[in-house]
Structure 1
Amino acid sequence: MSVARLDKTAMKISADFNGNPASHKWPQGRGIQTPIRATGAGSRFLQVGHDELRSHRRVPTKPMGAKGENIPVRFQSVFGIMHLIISLGIILVMDKFLKRAFVAAAIKFPSALFGMFCIFSILMILDSVVPSTAMSLVNFFEPANMFIQRWLPLFYVPSLVVLPLTVKDIPAASGIKILFILVGGWLASLSVAGYTAIAVRKIVKTETVSAEPMPKPSPFSQIELWAWTGIFVSSFVLAVLYPTALGTNAKTCLPFLLAATVLGYMVGSRWQSDAKKALHPIICCILSADLSALAYGYFSQSGLDAVLGYYLTKLSYNPGAGDILMGFLGSVIISFAFSMFKQRKLVKKHASEIFSSVVISTIFSLYSTALVGRLIGLEPALTISILPRCITVALALSVVSFFEGANASLTAAVVVLTGLIGANFVQAMLNKLRLNDPIVRGIATASR
């Protein structure tokens, strides 16, 4: 049996084993034994057979070190943590470097988006030249991507936590108009994206390609829940007794406000799917953080508004919990490059439907929002603030930075609220619109 044939056989056995591990029974008290027979000149390099066995090589079931010793589990955990820190650190440093470079060069284009395109282009070039190198690069950053995916909703929460401050100066009538544009615009954008995708699919007539399976982040453990609870209680008591123990009010409040946000997300994530529809994990985050801020404002006699100001200061030298969380937004955009690369076959196959639908629905969303805002008499500054309601927070904040007088906090809040509406009602609405094609449903959902 040749080496290539051996590899194929091993892959087949591995796939079969992964599919039904219970059907494979190994001898008790023995390692997995692979008979190996070396041959002389003129024969194949490596042969594996069950006959004429000369020796058996015992394959250990535990990881081995460089010198053959078993690697303890604790060392594997340490290596895993170091791998996460290094891979995530590289993405964070890249994001900060690009931001500073773009600011120094007075470039208005979103730096994180540029970084995403650069990484994706590099991966595609490597994949065409040295595919193994491209996959090695993707695998190296996998811990960072899984970390971002696991905590992704938290990075969008701060704008909604401080929503009471954001809407404080917005008249009630204007708030109703914004909600009207938000709900109606979401439905309109969903319809435009869906029916555009259907029209393009009828023209190009491409066959549906299944998406590559994506790994899911691990659920939150009881230990994590208790650890964050301990951080919350201890830091809350410290902040009440010594409001400037860490130098400033914002820094002192940072640990318990961050812990409150994380705990809200953990608790909300553990609920059943039906309960999540009524009370989404992001809503749990907001309630947990705001109630904690309210409690601290009461005990410290500083008031809710002051504590929410500590939550999101927008000052690099005096950050709050919200500033720490929103600091990951650029890294989220950069990490999309790896997700796009993993789904490159799907994107390439359905590029016509994807890009045409996204472009048309985005243009429709921007111009329809501006038009409806003017027709119903919404203030120009508020209309500008909600223009990029259909794109992700990091990009939306970059878009509104082009305009004078825009309320960035309102922009972020509107984007997240649009996402919450989609998360709860998109499947039912797609069924009502009879958009049953999986590619169309995916495009419409993403383009909302």
Structure 2
Amino acid sequence: MGSDSSVASTGLPSKVFGALHLLVSLGIILAMDKLLKKAFVEAAIKFPSALFGMFCTFAVLTILDSVVPKAAEGLMNFFEPALLFIQRWLPLFYVPSLVVLPLAVKDVPAASGAKICFILVGGWLASLCVAGFTAISVRKMVKTEMIPAEPMAKPSPFTSLEMWTWSGIFLASFVGALYYPTALGTSARTCLPFLLSSTVLGYLVGSGLPSAVKKVFHPIICCAVSADLAAIAFGYLSKSGLDPVLGDYLTKAASNPGAGDILMGFLGSVIISFAFSMFKQRKLVKRHAAEIFTSVIISTLFSLYSTALIGRLIGLEPNLTISILPRCITVALALSIVSLFEGVNSSLTAAVVVLTGLVGANFVQAVLDKLGFNDPIARGIATASSAHGLGTAALSAKEPEALPFCAIAYALTGIFGSIICSVPAVRQSLLAIVG
């Protein structure tokens, strides 16, 4: 019976088997995130559910590794297709907040917008310096020799077939939405196919641009521009205007999701996937724990409290200051953090986080060189602690030796930020500073 099943499985075309493997492994992570989110809402637990899922996954892997190492290795191998999928499409999950930026900033006064930009750029640079100098100082004290990191698998590059396929989907769905606007029911469902395909198409085009162009025109900006142009074109041709179309892009309604809701639905899975990357680099984390944890804790506290203080000193409205507190924390957890406060603009939170990442992605290497941060540990930690995933992706593309420290610090910054903000006394102290 066992041999028959193995013959049947090996008889399947490898692409079909690979697709099934991806669907099952990714489906389990998505289902885990959804079930935990539902359970936490019903229990009125404020702590981020995806973070709890990450801790549970990491605990299971660690226990299995100490009891049955082969089982832990098998689990890692089983989920690898899902992890590569998340890594391949990660920037897309940040895009919705940039696409709807015109709606998010509509009620923000121009003077307040200028203050937010000042905090965003100045805060990024300050956080990078604090994290980098802390890492260097601790490195000098502990004098730990570096060990090679575990090799990290890379997702496959995009193909011309994918480009043409998504182009066809966009054209067909755009024309269909124009001429048959009620075919799918609600306006959000009508716009979903062409808005989603235009976003993906923008990412494919942006990813294929020359490196020199990417420094100015990051793929994530290309995504947002592509989706916004599609929204503008549809709003003009359908005479509905831009705002309703953008409103359908990110509805935040589970019963009537838009393209942006579909993409942001993966953010919880991104957090859970941190467990696998941290487990893979557990030896590195253990060996350089002093540098990593000290830098992450100090830079995260600095980021939160300095944002609150500067916001008050320059006269930024308290609700806007609270909205941008987690500027250096990855979107999924930043949104969880601001949900702990009242009266915040979560769309602004997501947009500021993404813009911080874009600033880091474009300037991090030049600034690190200027500051004389030559140690891979310091470069990796400083980048991830100040510009999370987008900064990490930009640095790791050219400095693979810094990638493990980027990935670890990227995850730990969000984890520590979420934990510390879950403490009522910390939230009260931040609110007191904001005023």
Q: Same fold (TM over 0.5)?
A: yes
Tell me the alpha carbon deviations over residues 321-360 of structure 1, each in whole angstroms, 9 at most, x when there is no partner.
0000000000000011111111111111111111110010
- 1:171 paired with 2:109, answer yes
CA displacement at 1:109 relative to structure 2 = 0.6
> 2-side partners of 1:363 and 1:415: how far apart?
16
Partner of 1:205: 143
Structure with the bigger percentage of helix? 2
Residues of 2 paired with 1:189 and 1:286: CA distance? 26
Which residue of the partner structure matches residue 257 of structure 2?
319
Residue matched to 2:156? 218
1:151 counterpart residue number: 89
> 1:71, CA displacement in angstroms?
4.5
1:239 aligns with 2:181: no
Within 5 A, what are the aligned runs for 1:107-146?
A: 107-146=45-84
Q: Aligned with 2:13: secondary structure?
A: helix
1:432 aligns with 2:366: no
Question: Could you tell me how far apart the structure 2 residues matched to 1:117 and 1:351 are?
Answer: 18
What is aligned with 2:326? 388
Q: 1:321 & 1:210 partners in 2: Cα distance?
A: 41
Aligned residues: 384
Residue 65 of structure 1: CA displacement?
Answer: 8.1
The residue type paired with residue 326 of structure 2 is: P
Query: Using the alignment, how far apart are the partners of 2:4 and 2:203 within structure 1?
Result: 39
What is the alpha-carbon distance in structure 2 between the residues aligned to residue 406 and residue 210 of structure 1?
43
CA–CA distance in structure 2, aligned partners of residues 397 and 300 of structure 1: 33
CA distance in 1: counterparts of 2:15 and 2:299, whole angstroms: 45
The 5-angstrom pairing of residues 368-407 of structure 1 reads 368-407=306-345
* Residue 27 (structure 1) aligns with: none
Say which SS state the counterpart of residue 54 (structure 2) adopts. Answer: helix
Aligned pair 1:230/2:168, yes or no?
yes
Instruction: Confirm or deny: 8 A CA contact 1:65 1:71 kept in the other structure.
Output: no
Structure 1: which amino acid aligns with 2:289? A
Partners in 2 of 1:239 and 1:67 — Cα distance? 46
* CA distance in structure 2 between the partners assigned to 1:124 and 1:71 by the alignment: 31
Task: Give, in whole Å, the separation in 1 of the partners of 2:226 and 2:4.
Answer: 46
Q: Which residue does 2:14 correspond to in 1?
A: 76
Residue deviations 1:110-166 (CA, integer Å, cap 9, x gap): 010111111111111111111111010000000100110110000010011000000
* Rounded Cα–Cα distance in structure 2 between residues aligned with 1:240 and 1:422: 39
Q: RMSD across aligned C-alpha pairs, in angstroms?
A: 1.4
Residue 99 of structure 1 pairs with residue 47 of structure 2 = no
SS of aligned partner of 1:429 = helix
SS in 2 for 1:278: coil
How far apart are 1:204 and its partner, in Å? Answer: 1.3
Alignment partner, residue 337 of structure 1: 275
1:349 counterpart = 2:303: no
| Deviation, structure 1 residue 313 | 0.5
Report deviation, 1:210.
2.0
TM-score by length of 2: 0.86
Deviation of 1:261 after TM superposition, in Å, equals 0.1
Which of structures 1 and 2 has the larger relative contact order (alpha carbons within 8 angstroms, sep 6+)? 2
Q: Distance in 2 between matches of 1:379 and 1:71?
A: 62
Cα distance in structure 2, aligned partners of 1:158 and 1:295: 18
Aligned: 1:192 with 2:127: no
Aligned CA distance change for structure 1 residues 378 and 86 (closer, same or farther; 3 Å): same
**Deviation by residue 1:384-419 (Cα, 9 ceiling, x = unmatched):** 000000100010001000111100000000001111
CA distance in 1 between counterparts of 2:320 and 2:13 reads: 54
Give the whole-Å Cα distance in 2 for the aligned partners of 1:71 and 1:147: 23
CA distance in 1, matches of 2:318, 2:327: 15
Instruction: Name the amino acid aligned to 1:380.
Output: P
Give the SS at the match of 1:274. Answer: helix
- C-alpha change, 1:67 and 1:219, in structure 2 (3 Å) is closer
Match of 1:256 in 2: 194
- 2:245 pairs with 279, 290, 307, which one? 307
Closer, same or farther: CA 295–67 of 1 in aligned 2, 3 Å = closer
Q: Distance in 2 between matches of 1:67 and 1:103?
A: 42
2:254 counterpart letter in structure 1: S
Q: Is the 8 A contact 1:124 1:341 kept in 2?
A: yes
1:403, 1:116 → 2: CA distance? Answer: 23
- 2:299 is aligned to 361
SS of corresponding position for 1:146: helix
> For 1:269 and 1:215, how far apart are their aligned partners in 2?
19
Partner Cα distance (2:7, 2:206) in 1: 45
Structure 1: how far apart are the matches of 2:253 and 2:41? 16
Aligned match of 1:285: 223
Runs of 4 or more, structure 1, over 6 Å off, are 64-70
Aligned equivalents of 1:298, 1:330: Cα separation in 2: 35
Per the normalisation by structure 1, the TM-score is 0.84
For 1:34, the equivalent position in structure 2 comes to none
1:50-107 superposed Cα distances (whole Å, 9 cap, x missing partner) = xxxxxxxxxxxxxx987879955x6211111111110000000000010011111111
Asked if 2 retains the 8 angstrom alpha-carbon contact of 1:95 and 1:111, the reply is yes
User: 1:278 offset after TM fit, Å?
Assistant: 1.3
Query: Partners in 2 of 1:294 and 1:70 — Cα distance?
Result: 48
| Distance (Å, rounded) in 1 between the aligned partners of 2:9 and 2:349 | 54
Q: Distance in 2 between matches of 1:378 and 1:71?
A: 62
